[in-house]
Amino acid sequence: MHAPTRCAIVPPYLLVRLARLDDPRFAAAAEAARQSLLRDSPLRTHREVAHPPHRPDVRGGGPARVPGRIDRSVSDAAGLERLPGRLVRSEGHPPVPDVTVQEAWDGLGSTHDLFWSRFQRDSVDGRGLSLDATVHYGRNYDNAFWDGERMVFGDGDGQVFNRFTASLTVIGHELTHGVTQFTANLTYQGQSGAVNESMSDVFGSLVEQHARGQSTAEAGWLIGEGLFTDQVQGVALRSMKAPGTAYNDDLLGRDPQPDSMAGYVETEDDNGGVHLNSGIPNRAFYLVAEALGGNAWEAPGQIWYDTLTSGTLGNSVTFAAFARATARAAVKRYGIGSEEHRAVVAGWTTVGLGSGLAAGLGTGRPGGTTRPEAQRPEQQRPGQQRPE
């Protein structure tokens, strides 16, 4: 088994488009995109281990660790590409003037708080793993990523992208790749990779909503809001509420995410479309949250968390299998035919993945969510063209 690919927030197709710009006004942004793509190429390789080794508590001699107590650190790469960089803040030390350090610090805390307070998960590995981050990575680096052990943030190019600590959803998104790594360990390719990306978008959004006290109706459901400068016609990298609408810009083109299986993108790029087709399960989650109302980190988030940690997801899970797993999780926690179960079925049905999920609703028959004959997503793909 392989460790997950190091997962970056900005899709490669966006950087490729920027790298091809020949407008002299954006020469710096184009060069930054080219250099970012070069730096990111190792992120698409795999290491021959199932998980990174669990780092033991080396504080010896002190009191036993308290479950749920956060342990975090932020280091400064100072424009270099060496990790971890110089340690600039750790637990028990005061804030530093650098706003990027503070944003990373607060984002680590907000993510830990969601997973511990709502799901009783003790850090990304469930065992109190230290949450570590590095800021100021590289020169004008247009990305942020989870490398299997830590969060790494670039400062952006200043023309198209702002600093990557500016968005709490980015921090929550990338740390959730760590949660997925230590639970379902989903293969970062094709539909399982898109589920992996969607899980990070779901919980990245929930981290922000939980920190801000936003209800489902109040939330913006945007991933990477604030990353674009005011020179870009766009609000975020992705919209969970309305995939395909996050940006429409002369430089970046139009957001290519599909919002249902009718627009499923067949491509070999982007690890088989992991950032593209994640719009489909993203919208399904939003629709579940919309139907249930209240706070999305409650029933909807609990169902998705139960699914991720159930131990039943195959590493190469398909969209259809993942949809069935969420329906099973809803039944297990809330009961067959419950409001929560019905919302899950309706959400997946709207995006074209409801086949087989509604069996047993209102009949009292268990097992209606586990029919193996559910329609295969391959039967629903129209072969949409890949984005340029």
Provide the annotated active-site residues: 174, 275
Nearest Cα to Cα of residue 286 among 320, 330, 224, 239:
239
Q: What is the DSSP letter of 7?
A: E
Please calculate the CA angle 165-170-322 and round it to the nearest 5 degrees.
Answer: 170
Residue type, 11: P
Q: Is 379 helix (H, G, I), strand (E, B) or coil?
A: helix
- Which residues sit opposite 134 in a β-bridge? 75, 152
- Which residues sit opposite 265 in a β-bridge? 384
Whole-number Å distance between alpha carbons of 346 and 97: 48
249 is written with which tokens?
């810009």
147 is written with which tokens?
């490398």
Crossing angle of helices 339-350 and 299-308, rounded to 10°: 70
- Given a contact cutoff of 8 angstroms between Cβ atoms, the answer to whether 192 and 283 are in contact is no
126 is written with which tokens?
């469930």
Whole-number Å distance between alpha carbons of 268 and 27: 28
Report strand pairing: 248-249 vs 238-239: unpaired
Nearest Cα to Cα of residue 109 among 144, 162, 151, 163:
151
Residue 91 burial (CB < 10 Å; 0-12/13-18/19+)?
exposed
| Complete edge-to-edge strand list for the sheet that includes strand 151-153 | 7-8, 144-146, 151-153, 131-135, 72-76, 86-90
Could you report how far apart the first and last alpha carbons of the chain are, in Å? 32
Taking CA atoms, 381 is separated from 31, 83, 255, 375, 385, in Å, by 36, 41, 19, 12, 11
Nearest Cα to Cα of residue 145 among 188, 192, 191:
188
Q: How many residues does the chain have?
A: 388
